Amino acid sequence: MSLQSTDAQKKNSSATTGSDTAIAVINPATEEVIDTVKRGTAEDANKAVAKAKRAFREWSRTPANTRAHLLHEAAAKMHAHKDRIIELLTLEEGKPVCENEEEFEWLTNTFDYYAELGRHERGRVSPSGEYTQLNMVLKEPYGVAACIIPWNYPLLLMAWKVAPALAAGNTVVIKPSELTPLSTLYIFEKCWDHFPDGVINIVTGYGAEVAEPLVLHPDVPVIAFTGSLAIGQRIASLAAPMMKKLHLELGGKDAFVIAEDADPEMAARALAYAALTNAGQVCTSTERVYLPSKKAKEFTEALIAHVKSLKLGAGMDPQTDMGPMIGATYREKVEGHVAEAIGKGARLLTGGKRPEKLKVGYYYEPTVLANVDHNMVIMREETFGPVIPLMEYNSFDEAIELANDCMFGLGACLLTSDTLKAKMFLEEVKAGTIWINDPLTDNYAGPFGGMKLSGGARELGQEGLDEFRETKHVHWEFNTKPKSWWYPYGK
């Protein structure tokens, strides 16, 4: 099967021209090559920025209603290509089709949402100091926005950046992950061809060779990135001398607290979904679980029974509950975290190995550990895999302290019907999103982002649009006579 991605890149100069070296895109379920894309260079990045910069003046002047129409048209074209987009996404990324159908809905709805929000307002009028004056606060596009996209949700997280950036009047250069570029390139060719030339640009390649030149480019004032803390820190250090606008959504180590009143069967299903969706490869995956000591045995037994019932397999198989991990190095990291925890006294309850029946593909069994503590790497650093570590607590105050005992603050979950516990949790836990009884559900109108080392960016909602707009204050005096307080002071 071939995407003909290289042909797509040749047809449109906004895509990578690249070096002669190709990057193989691997199906993580079969370890087979799906297709190849060009390995971009710094020269490609520079050309894309130049093209985006040339297009910016006209695009920023384009009426908001026109921009909205183009964004809506993009969403409509994506719907026309839905089956192919979902197929490519499943083959290159690995998660089940049903999860990619949900990602597709987020992709199209995000474009539709920001199409409307982008023409709603561009600032405000403030009360003036004098009757003859007008004070306005204007929100304006920055210019060229570099959008550096991760592999785990390559279309959703692309849309969360590109749609608001375009709606605000910016042009964009997209750098998809070298692991999952195919679905983005397909959309570029089939669904964005109606945008003015240079408004949307794509450069494929590796981070050091393509993304860093974008970060360092003087004509790129905004860097929007989702990924690891280490790469985010690298981007921040490179961009700091130029005082660029940084839109960084970094790692997570989300806590999941189960209160005593929660139903064990419901808790097992909610927890498994929060921890194992996309094989645990979600920035908001549950990676730390806190159980009340008095009911820990009951909750644990329900969880193990539910996890053991899940089916591993290729994402294209409709019976699959959990697909493969994205690659060998990512699986090895998970194996290292689990081994370190067991070496320090953690107890393996289920999983903890590669499935014997699936010899090919980057699979790892959904794993449950007990007797963990915060001295273990698996409770401190982002694991990004299908592991559920369980730790007991004796009081709800202790549970909140444990939830906050982390350098990350992206999200946190709570299961309870106790309204006082819910209020304590949402007010005292330091995380950008708090889920109570409904883990990992997002809202187009609600901002998504983290606290602490998870980064301070916000995507979705009004906040997501404002990330791509800078503020200007306009003070306008209609009376052109000299002011009494002007020089000279001596008169």
Residue 257's beta-bridge partner residues?
A: 290, 414
91/212 Cα distance (integer angstroms): 28
Distance in Å from the first CA to the final CA of the chain: 85
DSSP 3-state of 213: helix
Are the C-beta atoms of residues 281 and 326 closer than 8 Å to each other? yes
For residue 23, give the H/E element and its range.
strand 22-27
Q: What is the CA radius of gyration of the chain?
A: 24
Q: Nearest 5°: CA angle at 463, between 459 and 466?
A: 105
249 belongs to the catalytic site: yes
Nearest-5° Cα angle at 177, 176 to 179: 135
Under 8 Å between Cβ of 300 and 391 = no
CB atoms within 10 A of CB 208: 10
DSSP notation for 385-411:
SSEEEEEEESSHHHHHHHHH-SSEESE
Q: Is 413 a catalytic residue?
A: no
Measured CA distances, 481 to 132, 139, 477 (Å): 11, 30, 10
Token code pair at residue 123: 């600032």
The active-site residue, picked from 249, 365, 382, 392, is 249
Could you tell me how far CA 137 lies from the centroid of its own chain?
A: 30
Catalytic residue among 191, 283, 406, 413: 283
Q: How far apart are CA 230 and CA 333, in angstroms?
A: 15
Active site positions, annotated:
249, 283
